[in-house]
Amino acid sequence: MRIYLIVGLLAIYSSAFAVEIPKEVTKTANSLSSLLRGNPSLDEIRKTPIAGLYEATLGSNLIYITADGKHFILGEIYKAKNTENLTESRRNKMRMQAINTIDESEMVVFAPKRETKYTINVFTDVDCGYCAKFHKEVPLLNRAGVKVRYLAFPRAGKGSETYNTMVSVWCADDQQKAMTDAKNRRTIKTKTCNHPIDKLYNIGQDVGVTGTPALVLPNGTLLPGYIPYYKLIPYLQQAK
């Protein structure tokens, strides 16, 4: 009897403090899917620090909707006190949640021989010139204690020559050598297997990757484009 009473009281307590989302907000959020790339489904609606404004998450998109559902905002929300970008903080958290669904065995990893101080996730394309330039600096990053985890993002899409080359890289017996050879324009052995290329590419699109290289720092910050290793280290120190 006491157990049932406690459970009942907990249910009443939880419902009393549950955030009630106006149905107009939900209706508007669902209707916005058709306006966004890939028609993402509605994942979540939550209150924002601004009274009468709700945050809807559709895939990697954050949309702010008024309580009456008549207006929505595609933009950034900042704290006036310290100019913190609350929208970007949410995006960073969402990116890391997505990255954390990937097992490291599904990535091509270049790890330091000694202590790993930082880990960086890099969406890459083997036929991207700046990706090749970044890859030449991976040994320097490794020496500085940076683990580089490559995620596939063939920009030409599924079925392209680049896509097929990346399948061969991920299926190679020595992935690190195959990655290096591919980025140096050397021919690698064609190979197929049960690979995660499609999964990685889709996650890249979901977290906002539009080109390569795209670097995701440990705090979820997305850095698009090539960044020299000596400039990247301070970013990693700050993100940690």
Q: What is the pTM of this model?
A: 0.81
How does DSSP classify residue 37? Answer: T
128 catalytic residue (yes or no): yes
Contacts of 110 (CB under 8 A, 6+ apart): 138, 141, 142, 147, 148, 150, 176
DSSP output for 159-203: TSHHHHHHHHHHHSSSHHHHHHHHHTT--------S--HHHHHHH
Amino acid 224: pLDDT: 94
pLDDT above 80: residue 119: yes
**Of 91, 95, 128, 149, which is the active-site residue?**
128
Could you give the 3-state DSSP secondary structure of residue 10? Answer: helix
193 catalytic? Reply is: no
Q: Averaged over 11-25, what is the pLDDT?
A: 63
Paired tokens of 23: 């149905």
C-alpha–C-alpha distance, residues 102 and 178, integer Å: 21
Share of the chain above pLDDT 90, in %: 69
Question: Active site residue: 125, 127, 149, 181, which one?
Answer: 125
**For all residues of the chain together, what is the average pLDDT?**
89
Q: Is 89 helix (H, G, I), strand (E, B) or coil?
A: helix
Report pLDDT for 19. 63
Q: Which residues pair with 152 in a beta bridge?
A: 124
In the prediction, which pLDDT does 137 show?
97
Specify the residue for token string 């050397």. 186
Beta bridge partners of 121: 149, 216
Question: What pLDDT, on the 0 to 100 scale, is given for residue 184?
Answer: 96
Tell me whether residue 174 is one of the annotated catalytic residues: no
- Could you report the per-residue pLDDT of 144-169, keeping only the tens digit for each? 999 999 999 999 999 899 999 999 99
What is the mean pLDDT of the segment spanning 8-15? 42
**99-117 per-position pLDDT tens digit:** 999 999 999 999 999 999 9
- Quick one: CA dihedral 229, 233, 239, 240, positive or negative? positive
Count the neighbouring beta carbons within 10 Å of the beta carbon of residue 212.
26
The pLDDT score that the predictor gives to residue 10 is 40
The catalytic residue among 91, 95, 127, 131 is: 131
- Catalytic site residue from 91, 95, 149, 155: 155
How long a stretch of residues is the chain? 240
CA–CA gap between residue 240 and residue 224 (Å, rounded)? 19
Rounded CA separation 50/63 (Å)? 14
pLDDT at 14 over 70: no
Which domains does the chain show, CATH number per domain?
A: 9-77 (3.10.450), 107-239 (3.40.30.10)
Secondary structure letter of residue 35 according to DSSP: G
Q: Write out pLDDT tens, residues 75-90.
A: 889 988 889 889 889 9
pLDDT of the residue at 81: 87
Supply the pLDDT for residue 2.
46
Find out whether 206 and 187 touch, Cβ atoms under 8 Å.
no
Q: What is the pLDDT of residue 70?
A: 92
- Residue 33 DSSP class: G
Tell me how far CA of residue 4 lies from CA of 8, 17, 27, 91, in angstroms.
6, 20, 36, 40
Residues 182-231 pLDDT 10s: 999 999 999 999 999 999 999 999 898 999 999 999 999 999 999 999 99
- Give residue 39's identity as a one-letter amino acid code: N
Position 25 pLDDT exceeds 80: yes
Active site residue 90: no
- Tokens 């204690």 locate to 145
Q: What percent of the chain has pLDDT over 70?
A: 92
Q: What is the pLDDT of residue 59?
A: 80
